[in-house]
Structure 1
Amino acid sequence: MAARLIDDDPALAHRHALAASRRAGRIAIVRETVAITAYATEDYALALRELRTYRRISGKDDQIALLVDSERGVGRPDRALEVGRAVDRSALPVPVRVELAIAMSGARLDLGETERALTELDIPELDPDRAFEWSPALFAARAAVLEELGRTDEAALWQRRADIAAEALHDASGAADLETIVIEDAVIEDDAVEGDRS
């Protein structure tokens, strides 16, 4: 029920998760669900507590980005960066690694470290020519940081890439084998791309 409701009614989803935790509080997925719904309702302190419990029970780092963002939510961007740096990124699944990069970039923005926020997003998964499930969020995050830096033309370019990637993935969502979409119709100027990569 929590999974079905979280997008439309996060508060009700959270109540369902809390009810489950009262009956099965030692099960990792229950604590994970409480954490996710707490985050969705902006109860970042509870999300942190539940994420730590989930991590301890499961031994997994798959919610590390949410942990970093929750530290940001309680006003501790420095601690958020420490938490993010403490994990072995090479051992994380690619979508989790991308989410972590976005969260770390956000923590840098919180600290006013805009150039370093951009650097956090310079990861191998930042491929402007192909769309993966994580590409729209990653491209949009880069656009937001570039906007903060006053590099509006580059920001608009990356936001356009984010929009194209999201549309391409949506259009191909019925495909049987959806791993990568090649963005062929982006019509992005070579000079702009080269300038952004330099």
Structure 2
Amino acid sequence: MSLPKGLAEDVSRNLVMVAQLIDEDPEKAYGYSRVALRLASRVAAVREAAGFAAYATQKYSEALAEFRAARRMSGGVELWPVMADCERGLGRPERALAMAGEPEVQKLDKAGQVEMRLVAAGARRDMDQLDAAIVTLQSPELASSAVHPWTARLRYAYADALLAAGREREAREWFAKALEADKDGATDASDRLAEMDGVEFVDAFVEDEADEDESGLVVEGDLDDDLDEDDEDDEDEDDVLGRGDGDKS
């Protein structure tokens, strides 16, 4: 709203493209975010979008700078967890843990506090503190039977930490709970469960092609080989006929 109408429309188009592409093609989303940033670098929403695009392409230093700028402009704390995760991405898990203990965390909504807990647990794992990571994730939100948008990811992270600590039976139970809450396919809990159960997925289409090859059915490569062999036989036959004609003459 702070931009002239024409400029605002140009910026908004680029931001829409960032939102549409950030999951399927983060590099393209990053490109659009840079255009928006050149057009309106003093708008908090633009700096935030640029931060998420950089974060999606693992440009953590750049993402952190953009998130800090957006936070200064807006005065909000909702970016605090992703800022802490950028510190992890930069190989500084101890800074992420320090941020988890700052007063800003208490100002986050429930989703933000859960996200901060996930980041803190990840930082513990970065530091090879598996037991501490497990304890970090143990919370009323984890124990609750209610399903929220963050429930599947919280249960999945807990299951993954348990598995890393060698507690396979408990891990399997929590992967199953994560799958139960994961209505949108946000995690690969089903694949992890199948892996733990020793289930191997086979591409039926590839298997059918292999069966056809073994059964002696002609495939494209075999057909080419057969045609080449036929051509060679014809040439041999022509040679014999030619020599015969010469003998007769």
Please classify the TM superposition score into its range, dividing by the shorter chain length.
0.7 to 0.9
Find out whether 1:112 has 2:128 as its counterpart. Answer: yes
Q: Which amino acid aligns with 1:99?
A: E
1:123 Cα shift? Answer: 2.3
Aligned to 1:82: 98
Match of 1:26 in 2: 42
1:16 corresponding residue in structure 2: 32
Q: Point out which structure has higher relative CO (alpha carbons under 8 A, 6+ apart).
A: 1
**Match of 1:54?**
70
Q: Is the Cα contact below 8 Å between 1:131 and 1:168 reproduced in 2?
A: no
> 1:131·1:169 contact (CA, 8 Å) conserved in 2?
no
Distance 1:133 1:169 in 2: 11
Q: Distance in 2 between matches of 1:82 and 1:101?
A: 12
Structure 1: distance between partners of 2:62 and 2:181:
34
Q: Which residue of 2 aligns with 1:166?
A: 182
Are 1:133 and 1:169, in contact at CA under 8 Å, matched by a contact in 2? no
- Give the Cα–Cα distance (whole angstroms) in 2 for the partners of residues 92 and 66 of structure 1: 12
Report if aligned partners of 1:136, 1:163 keep a CA contact under 8 Å in 2: yes
- Per-residue deviation, 1:128: 4.7
* Mapped contact 1:89–1:97 kept (Cα < 8 A): yes
SS in 2 for 1:29: helix
CA deviation vs aligned residue, 1:40-95 (integer Å, no higher than 9, x gap) = 00101101111111111111111112111110111101111112221343321111
Number of paired residues?
170
Do the aligned residues in 2 keep the contact of 1:128 with 1:161 (CA within 8 Å)? no
Instruction: Please give the secondary structure, in 1, of the residue aligned with 2:141.
Output: coil
SS in 2 for 1:119: helix
- Classify 1:168/1:75 alpha carbon distance in 2 versus 1 (closer, same or farther; 3 Å): closer
* Alignment-mate amino acid for residue 18 of structure 1: R
TM-align CA RMSD: 1.7
Cα distance in 2 for partners of 1:128, 1:163 equals: 15
Q: Secondary structure at the match of 2:149?
A: coil
Does the 8 Å CA contact 2:22/2:29 hold for their aligned counterparts?
yes
8 Å Cα contact 2:80/2:105 also seen in 1? no
Residue matched to 2:157: 141
Alignment match, 1:36: 52
Q: Superposed, which structure 2 residues align to 1:96-135 within 5 Å?
A: 96-135=112-151
Q: Is the 8 A contact 2:64 2:86 kept in 1?
A: yes
Q: Secondary structure at the match of 1:133?
A: coil
Q: Which residue of 2 aligns with 1:151?
A: 167
Q: State the TM-score, normalizing by the size of structure 2.
A: 0.65
Task: Give 1:124's aligned amino acid.
Answer: P
- Between the aligned partners of 1:15 and 1:47, the Cα distance in structure 2 is 14
Matched position secondary structure for 2:103: coil
Measured in 2, the distance between the counterparts of 1:169 and 1:112 equals 28
| TM-score, L = length of structure 1 | 0.81
> CA 1:137/1:158 → structure 2, altered by over 3 Å: closer, same or farther?
same
Q: For 2:98 and 2:169, how far apart are their aligned partners in 1?
A: 33
Give the unaligned 5+ runs of structure 2: 1-16, 187-249
Q: Distance in 1 between matches of 2:139 and 2:185?
A: 21
